[in-house]
Amino acid sequence: MSDAPDTGALASPSCPAPAEADRVTLAHGAGAGASARLFEERVWPAFANAALGARHDGAVLAAPADGARLAVTTDSFVVRPLFFPGGDIGRLAVHGTLNDLAMCGARPLALTCALVLEEGLPLATLSRVIASIGAAAAAAGVPVVTGDTKVVERGKGDGVYVNTTGVGAVPAGRSLLPARVAPGDALLVSGPLAEHGAAVLSVREDVGFEGAFASDCTWLGPLVETLLEAVPSVHCLRDPTRGGLGAALHEIAAAAGAEIELDEAALPVREPVAAACELLGIDPLFLASEGRFAAWLPEADAERALAVLRAHPDGAGAVRVGRVAAGRARVVVRSRMGTRRLLVLPSGDPLPRIC
Amino acid sequence: MCLAVPGRVCERHEEAGLRLATVDFGGVRKRVCVETLPDVAVGAWVLVHAGIALQEIDAAAAAESLRALAAGTDGAP
Amino acid sequence: MKLVDEFRDPALARALAARVVARATRPWTVMEVCGGQTHAIVAHALDALVAERIALLHGPGCPVCVTPLETLDRAQRFALDGGGILCTFGDMLRVPGSAGDLFAARARGADVRVVYAPLDAARLAARTPERPVCFLAVGFETTAPAVAVAARWARQQRLDNFFLLVSHVRVPPALEAIAGAPDARVDAFLAAGHVCTVMGTAEYEPIARRFRKPIVATGFEPVDILHGLALAVEQLERGEARVEVQYERAVRPGGNPAARALVDEVFEVADRAWRGVGVLPRGGLVLRAAYAALDAERAFPALADVAVAESPECRAGEVLRGALRPPDCPAYGRRCTPEHPLGAPMVSSEGACAAYFRFRAAESAA
């Protein structure tokens, strides 16, 4: 959707459609001329930092302190639409990668950013995305130290794809691992679920929902640090992004070789999100969050962890939702009726259904 | 089969010859077709399936039947 | 949500389950007709609450499951060969046709779109006059009004690029077939509450009388379903066989007259093949002559030319009639899973096989 109507700045009646000069062309990816101008005029101002300022082929970073270990994670973002209630692809690309570092217990050191642009994308749209990446990275205090831009022919992309890689340092003595999840652990979540998935669905596929939807897209670093400082016994953290909490629990159960029991009545889902799920016939357990995490820790520390999370604005809605039991690697739901059933993963992304 | 969800009519509209209503479902608003309930009033509860209202819901009857069920006086012998 | 959450009250549900078990002096077999009820039963494991006395059979009420293979293949053909846009409900995308599902067709270049409402497909046709738009219309009587309104609107707007591939089915002929089958094991039916919301209950009176089976028009939440079971069991224990309405907040005896009139204007009753079941007399709806211009099969004669290939291993027909439990099918869970379904009941979240597989794969979850 190269000419998607999301170019608010260009929508004035005096400027009905962007001229060719205001759009991304193949030359912007060719390495010289237009490409260099694109960087100087649109990327550098948003990202300016010393490493990027070196105009080198890569970034050279200082090694972390003694005893710390490096964490690296990467993710590509292809969300449609590019701008959605509560966020956009740029903010998501920064928070998604920084959150994956946080789940490893790492404090972020640097980000990289690669853009794949579709020929014909309005430059104003590109600038909005870049500004959003820059603002989210700056707010987290993390420099975007190196990057790349490529342009694909019109019709071969969805406007903008973003890849970000994050590098962080895990302080000595910290070890968050799925394999550390053990029978007897409590399972907490840091807030209401499925908010990102519902926000994106609400503006997609002609669903036509009006309502108080906003993605929960947030950097989780500060909340994670607060939790780990106060409760170092945490065994594992996982952010339930694509596939939702349901998919995350399956991954952890498999890695830990244990049964996770989820208490359906305790699952935090705000009413509009629950209502949207009822309307579309989608289980909120399988819709993404982008600003929440699940935490596994010894039962003895669960109440303290909950108090710490709830005292932080990003964790105000934290609740206990389940426990880990000895048994086969699987996820069991204790329903509101008090009965138990296996949670089986759906095949593919959830689709609106009428049946 | 046949997922249908109750919501409350907030507004009536006419568009391209179709009777429509904005219906509130627990904080989510959506336009649905009410050709099937031509006289439905703002404030009414309706049951919506695949973008169309199937029927008006008798919310008072629903509350009454719940009370009767809870009291065990729903006509059970 | 109001009018939903109250009917998920655990204490009330457990009290009703206890009432069902207490009233039943012997084991009874009850079939819930509707896939929506199947979904609720397995999601809340309601069958476990009454298992002491009641065997619940999952019925044929999944329109996705009974849509004939020919229709699915024609939809694919339209999407792949015609340069048109195929619209349908999200439920249909993963149902296997002879050559893969609609996702596979999409991967081969077909323009397949998910809509929430049939009217959205007609509106899409109005916005894209240069391309034919076809809506794959599946569903029971509940869904027929939504399709009828789209058809009527398209005709009023004189859209000449909007078409329907119709596979609408009717519940009463299916109930008759199940109740009258020589291997019938069902003592009572929970009828589909939303079908009755549209159609009313009169069609079920002769079935209840003829086959001496209680039929209770039942809602979709745990309290509804357990209440419907209680009413059915109480009839059985008294030796009665009446049509009764549990879902009183939505079902009126005459249904919704405006909705029925709409359906009647656009559709007429006809014999219809159900996938896995065979042709049911008066088992479906077809477009009336006045709406023939919307009929995709008439507008695109090439669609008739499909060679269907059903999996020889799939025993969906017996499952849909209640004659075979999904786990007793040799292919179940081995060559047939939700990831790689052989037949439609393994696809839809309310298909009897997928329901078993997803929610009850391990009886050991108890």
Tell me how close the Cα of C353 comes to any Cα of chain B, in angstroms. 15
Q: Are residues C84 and C142 in the same domain?
A: yes
Q: Are residues C104 and C135 in the same domain?
A: yes
With beta carbons less than 8 A apart as the criterion, state whether A133 and A90 touch.
yes
Q: What does the pLDDT read at residue C102? A: 92
Please check the confidence at residue A110 and state whether its pLDDT lies above 80. yes
Q: Which residues of A touch B20 (CB under 8 A)?
A: none
Instruction: Report yes or no on C311 lying in a domain.
Output: no
Are C106 and C190 members of one domain?
no
Q: What is the value of pTM for the model shown?
A: 0.90
Handedness of CA A181, A186, A190, A196 (dihedral sign): positive
* Domain match, C227 and C213 both: yes
Specify if C177 maps to a domain: no
The count of residues in chain A is: 355
| Mutation for B interface: C12, C164, C249, C350, most B CBs within 10 A | C249
Q: In C214-269, which ranges are continuous DSSP H helix?
A: 222-238, 257-266
Distance, in Å, from the CA atom of A320 to the CA atom of A185, rounded to the nearest integer, reads 11
pLDDT tens for C326-349 read: 889 999 988 888 878 888 788 766
C71/C165 same-domain check: yes
pLDDT at C348: 67
pLDDT of residue C81: 86
Same domain, C212 and C342: no
Q: What is the pLDDT of residue C349?
A: 64
- Tell me if C363 is assigned to some domain: no
Assess if residue C364 is contained within a domain: no
| Inter-chain CB proximity C13 and A337 less than 8 Å | yes
As a whole number, mean pLDDT of residues A74-94 equals: 95
A336: nearest CA partner in chain C: C10
Q: Are residues C129 and C13 in the same domain?
A: no
Query: Is C273 within the bounds of a domain?
Result: yes
Percent of chain A with pLDDT over 90: 77
pLDDT of the residue at A20:
61
Is the pLDDT at A13 greater than 60? The verdict is no
Task: Answer for the pair C331, A312: CB distance below 8 angstroms, yes or no.
Answer: no
C362 interfaces chain A, CB cutoff of 8 Å:
yes
3-state secondary structure of A165: strand
**Is 90 exceeded by the pLDDT of residue A2?**
no
**What are the tens digits of pLDDT across the range B42-54?**
999 999 999 999 9
Give ∠ CA C319-C324-C327 in degrees, rounded to 5: 95
Q: Is the pLDDT of residue A152 over 80?
A: yes
- Identify the pLDDT of residue A209: 85
Does the interface predicted TM-score (ipTM) exceed 0.90? yes
Report whether C69 contacts C275 (CB < 8 A): yes
Q: Out of B5, B27, B48, whose CB is closest to A271?
A: B27
The mean of the pLDDT values for chain B is 92
C89 chain-B contacts, CB cut-off 8 A:
50
A346 versus C67: the higher-pLDDT residue is: C67
- pLDDT beyond 50 at A201: yes
> Which pLDDT does position A16 carry in this prediction?
46
Whether C2 and B55 lie within 8 Å, measured CB to CB: no
Quickly state the pLDDT bin for A93 (edges 50, 70, 90): very high
pLDDT reported for residue B40:
97
Residues in Cβ contact with C122 at an 8 Å cutoff, skipping those fewer than 6 apart: C133, C135, C150, C151, C153, C154, C157, C159, C162
Neighbours of A22 (CB within 10 A): 14
- With a pLDDT cut of 70, the percent of chain A lying above it is 94
In the prediction, which pLDDT does C320 show? 77
Q: DSSP string spanning C188-200?
A: EEEEEHHHHHHH-
| Domains defined for chain A, CATH in brackets | 22-58+66-170 (3.30.1330.10), 178-342 (3.90.650.10)
Same domain, C135 and C36: no
CATH of the domain at C278: 3.40.50.11740
Residues C100 and C155 in one domain: yes
**Which chains does B contact via 3+ CB–CB distances below 8 A?**
A, C
Per-residue pLDDT tens over the stretch C184-215: 889 999 999 999 999 999 999 999 999 999 99
Which architecture characterizes domain B5-71 according to CATH? Roll (2.30)
Q: What is the residue-level pLDDT of chain B in tens, covering all 77 positions?
A: 479 999 999 999 999 999 999 999 999 999 999 999 999 999 999 999 999 999 999 999 899 989 999 888 775 54
B28 with A354: Cβ contact below 8 A: no
Q: Which position has the higher pLDDT, A80 or C213?
A: C213
* pLDDT over threshold 60, residue A39: yes
The domain tally of chain C equals 3
CB contact under 8 A, C248 and B65: yes
Query: Which of A29 and C86 is assigned the larger pLDDT?
Result: C86
Based on the number of CB atoms within 10 Å of its own CB, is C42 exposed (0-12), middle (13-18) or buried (19 or more)? buried
* CATH number for the domain that contains residue C52: 3.40.50.11750
Binned at pLDDT 50, 70 and 90, residue C62 comes out as confident
Q: What is the mean pLDDT of residues A108-117?
A: 97
User: C116 and C161, same structural domain?
Assistant: yes
Instruction: Please tell me whether residues C14 and C148 are part of one structural domain.
Output: no
pLDDT band at residue A348 under the 50/70/90 scheme: confident
C249 interaction partners in chain B (CB closer than 8 Å): 57-59, 61-62, 65
List pLDDT tens digits, range A216-261. Answer: 999 999 999 999 999 999 999 999 999 999 999 999 999 999 999 9
CA-only gyration radius of chain A, Å? 22
User: A74: distance to nearest CA of chain B, Å?
Assistant: 35
Domain that holds residue C15: 5-61+182-245
Helix (H) or strand (E) holding A278: helix A271-280
Query: Looking at residue C10, what is its pLDDT?
Result: 95
Give the end of a domain, one of C265, C281, C304.
C304
Asked if C272 and C156 sit in the same domain, the reply is: yes
Neighbours of A340 (CB within 10 A): 16
pLDDT the model gives residue C350: 63
Residue C297: its pLDDT value, please?
94
Binned at pLDDT 50, 70 and 90, residue C171 comes out as very high
Q: What is the pLDDT of residue A4?
A: 39
Q: What band does A11 get if pLDDT is binned at 50, 70 and 90?
A: very low
Structure confidence by residue, pLDDT tens digits, C253-285: 999 999 999 999 999 999 998 887 788 999 999
Report d(CA C230, CA C225) in Å as an integer: 9
> Residue C281: inside a domain, yes or no?
yes
Find the closest chain A residue to B31 by CA distance.
Answer: A208
Contact call for A279 and B29, based on CB within 8 A: no
Q: Where do the domains of chain B lie?
A: 5-71
Q: Would you state the torsion angle of the CA atoms of residues C97, C102, C107, C113, taken in this order, to the nearest 10 degrees?
A: 160
Spatial distance between the Cα atoms of A12 and A91, rounded to a whole number of angstroms: 26
Rounded mean pLDDT of chain C? 91
